[in-house]
Amino acid sequence: MNKVTVLGSLNVDTSFRVTDFPKPGETISVKEKGNAAGGKGANQAVAASRLGAQTSFIGQVGDDASGRFMVKSLEEDNIDASCVSINPSVGTGTATIMLDEDGQNCILVYGGANQAITPEDIEGAEDEIASSDFLVAQFETPQNVAIRAFEIAKANGVKTILNPAPAPKSIDPELLKLTDIIVPNELESASITGIEITDEESMVKTAACFAEMGVANVLITVGDRGAFYMIDGKHNLVPAYKVQAVDTTAAGDTFIGALSAQLKTDYSNVEEAISFAEHSSSITVQRLGAQPSIPHLDEVKELINN
C-alpha cells in the first residue's frame, strides 16, 4: 500500500445544474442545487484514500463551520487531517460550480485560507512528508508552499507529483526542478509549454519541453484519447476507457488520486496505474458532485475485471 500525502485546497462546493451557461447580463433558472466537500487537493486525497492508499492531508481552513465540515469530511474518508491548520482571520475556501446538460462545468473559486497557508506551516508536516511514498500538490495553494514541501520530500527520497491546475500564468522554475512527475491535462500543458497537443508527435515535443524545464517525467491526460506518458525515457499513449459523462467536475482529481495510490515508486507499473486511473475517472464522470462521485477500490476492480 502506498502512503500518499496531499498538499492542497479545501473548499466547500456549491453546485448548480443548468440547461446552458448564462450569457453576460442574463438571469437563468437553476434546475438543481447541491453542497458537498471539495477543493482539488481534498478531492485528490479522497480519491487516493478510497482507491487504496494510506493518505494524509496538508492544508488550511478558516475557524468556521465550513472548516470544521471539511476536516470532518477528510476524517470520514480515513484521511489523516492532523496537518490541517486553522486560520482565525481568513474564511475556509469555497467553490461555486455550474454544470450544463452536456456535463461541462464552469467554476468560481474563493481561495480563502487555502491561499493564506505559508511555508512555515509546512514545517510542522515534515515527518508526515518524509514518511510518504508520494507527495502530491496542485495550484490552489501558493507555489512557495509547494516548493517548501517538495524540498522536504526530495531530501527524504519521496517522489513528488505536480498537478499544474488551475493552469498558472507562470511556474517557479525551482518548483519544476523539484518535481518528479508533472501531470497536466492537454490545455494546462499547452498553457505552460506553448505547444498545442494535436497528435503523439506534439506530445513527445511537449515532454521534451518539460524536460528542458527540469521535469524528466510527464503524464498528460488528453480527454477521450486517453493519457500520454514519458516516464524514464519511455513513452506511450494509453487509450481512454470511454463512457457518457454526466459531470466532469472531479475527473482529473480522481485520476491523480488513483494514480498516486497505485503507481509504484520505481514506475514499473505505469501503464497499469494509468489504466486504473482512467477506469476510476470513468466512474466519477457518470455521477453528480465532486467527492460524492469518487469511487471506491472495489468498484474500480469490478469494472476492470468485467
Q: Please tell me whether 252 is known to bind a ligand.
A: yes
Q: Please tell me whether 40 is known to bind a ligand.
A: yes
Are 134 and 52 contacting, i.e. CB atoms less than 8 angstroms apart?
A: no
pLDDT tens-digit readout, 12-58:
988 899 999 999 999 999 999 988 899 999 999 999 999 999 999 99
% of the chain beyond a pLDDT of 70: 100
Average confidence (pLDDT) per 10 residues, the chain, 306 residues: 97 92 95 90 98 98 97 98 97 92 86 97 96 97 98 98 93 97 96 95 96 97 94 95 86 97 98 97 89 95 93
Q: Please tell me whether 41 is known to bind a ligand.
A: yes
Q: Which of 127, 253, 266, 298 is catalytic?
A: 253
Q: Is 180 a catalytic residue?
A: no
Q: Please tell me whether 157 is known to bind a ligand.
A: no
Best CA proximity match to 186, nearest among 225, 240, 140: 225
% of the chain beyond a pLDDT of 90: 87
Q: Please tell me whether 23 is known to bind a ligand.
A: no
Task: Give the homologous superfamily in CATH for domain 3-21+32-305.
Answer: Ribokinase (3.40.1190.20)
* pTM given for the model: 0.93
Domain ranges of the chain: 3-21+32-305
